[in-house]
Amino acid sequence: MPRIAPWPLALLVVAAVALSGCAPATSGAGSNQSNVATGQEGFQDVRALAAELGTDAAPGEFPRTIRNIVANGTVGETEIPAKPQRVIVLDTGELDNMVALGIEPIGIAHPADTGMAPDYLEVGDAVDLGPYYALDLEQIKNLDPDLILGTSLRIDDDGLKKKLQDIAPTVLSPRPGVLWKENFLLNAAAVGEEEQAQKLLDAYEERAAAVGDDVVEANEGVAPTVSMLRFMAGRIRLYGNDSFIGTILADAGLPRPKTEDVNELAVEISAEEITKAEGDWLLWGTYGKPDATEQATVVDGPLWSKVKAVADGGVVREVNDGTWYLGLGVEGAQLVLDDLEAIAAER
């Protein structure tokens, strides 16, 4: 009887996993080519869904009920008996939101490749709950929280949602990124800081418009189209309108090149197609280790000098992935505006 080596078998498994992760990219509305872009909610209706969420309570009034995602595709009510003191956040967006409101979470879950929090956020004595796809439920229970904040996209299993709801009142928004402002208001409603949150958002929007004006002025009175390029392990993305950075550029009144002016999280391209980044300005970031991505092949690679912004002498700049792509909250957005302002000033 011939023995079958474990390597081929292991590779078969790997192949199957890899295949399931590389779903063919189809064209058409709502086709999202990545796990991040693919939520259980239809991507198109996500803003309408977010508009249903929130509270009717008067400012500062507790107990209050919060309409939020209680199971996949289901909006329900969560009662919060008193102003929460022990808050757990399940992703960077929620962390940013709490820090912006002056609340120190007691426990933090985070993306796989980052620490507990991006560099720009102070976390104090918070406990590390592990990456959000492998939550340390026992630790969460031990911390005895009185509020858990997250997104349905990250906590995509209804069983897990139920377990969290059993531990403490849990408020989930549909998804991170494009909904960051809606999420901020929802999170703020859960902790009774909705007025403060609205103030911060108004201040952000006012500043975004001003920074946009600075950029236009620096670019000789013409608004430059901005390409947002990101290298990740195994993929290269041009970020579209339905992303964190897409909403910030829109708030600043900065136009996007045609390829990126789409209502999607991002458009995926290959290294050979890098000239699809057609913005007058090209801002790029790298998630995780540059070595794991195609950054070295592309940046200063054979086609780099043919990319529009490089060829025409526009702004070509590496930006901080931790704020521009992972920020996901108003604090991160303010830092993005800082960077944009600095770029405009140097121009």
Partner 1 sequence: MSTAPRTRTRRAPLTILVGAGVALLVVVVLLSLLVGSRVLSPVETFGGLFGHDPVAAAVIWELRLPRTLLGLLVGAALGVAGALAQSVTRNPLADPGLLGISSGAAVAVVVGGAFLGLGAGTPRVLLALVGAALATVAVYTFARRSPEGLTPVNMTLAGMALTAFLGAVVSATVLLSASTMDQYRFWVVGALSIPDPQTLVPAALIAAVGAVVAASVSGSLNTLALGDDTASALGVNVLRTRISTGAAVVLLSGTAVALAGPIAFVGLVIPHMARALVGNDVRRMLVLSAVLGPLLLLSADIIGRLIVRPSELQVGVVTAILGTPFFIWLTWRTRSKGLAR
Reading the block at residue 30, the tokens are 């709502």
CB of 292 to partner 1, least distance (A): 4
Q: Do 93 and 328 touch, CB atoms closer than 8 A?
A: yes
List, in sequence order, every residue forming a beta bridge with 107; answer none if it has no partner: 88, 127
Q: Is 24 in the site for partner 1 (CB under 8 A)?
A: yes
Among the listed ranges 50-58, 62-70, 211-219, 263-271, the one in contact with partner 1 (CB under 8 A) is: 263-271
Q: Which is nearer to partner 1, 180 or 287 (CB)?
A: 287
Within 122-141, which residues bind partner 1 (CB under 8 A)?
131
Nearest to 89, CA basis, from 77, 68, 103: 103
CB of 134 to partner 1, least distance (A): 10
Q: Which of 11-19, 36-44, 58-66, 184-192 is the region at the interface with partner 1 (rule: CB under 8 A)?
A: 11-19
Instruction: Answer yes or no whether residue 196 interacts with partner 1 by CB under 8 A.
Output: no
Q: Is 20 in the site for partner 1 (CB under 8 A)?
A: no
Give residues with Cβ within 8 angstroms of 218, minimum separation 6.
Answer: 343, 344, 345, 347
Q: Which of 83, 253, 288, 320 binds partner 1 (CB under 8 A)?
A: 288
Q: Which of residues 297-316 bind partner 1 (CB under 8 A)?
A: 297, 301-303, 306
The 3-state secondary structure of 176-195 reads CCCCHHHHHHHHHHHCCCHH
Distance CA 173, CA 180 (A): 10
Q: How far apart are CA 307 and CA 202, in angstroms?
A: 36
Interaction of residue 38 with partner 1, rule CB under 8 A:
no
How many of the other CB atoms lie within 10 Å of CB of 89?
A: 30
Q: Among residues 9 and 209, whose Cβ is nearest to partner 1?
A: 9
**Of residues 153-182, which lie at the interface with partner 1 (CB under 8 A)?**
none
What is the DSSP track for 239-266?
A: E-SSSHHHHHHHHTT----GGG-SSSSE
Interface map 221-250 toward partner 1 (x if CB under 8 A): ------------xxx---------------
Q: Is 119 in the site for partner 1 (CB under 8 A)?
A: no
- Of 212 and 314, the one with the shorter C-beta distance to partner 1 is 314
Whether 118 contacts 327, CB under 8 Å: yes
Preceding peptide of 84 cis, ω within 30°: no
Residues found near partner 1 in the complex (CB under 8 A):
1-8, 10-12, 14-15, 18-19, 22-25, 33, 112-113, 131, 233-235, 268-273, 275, 288-289, 291-292, 294, 296-297, 301-303, 306
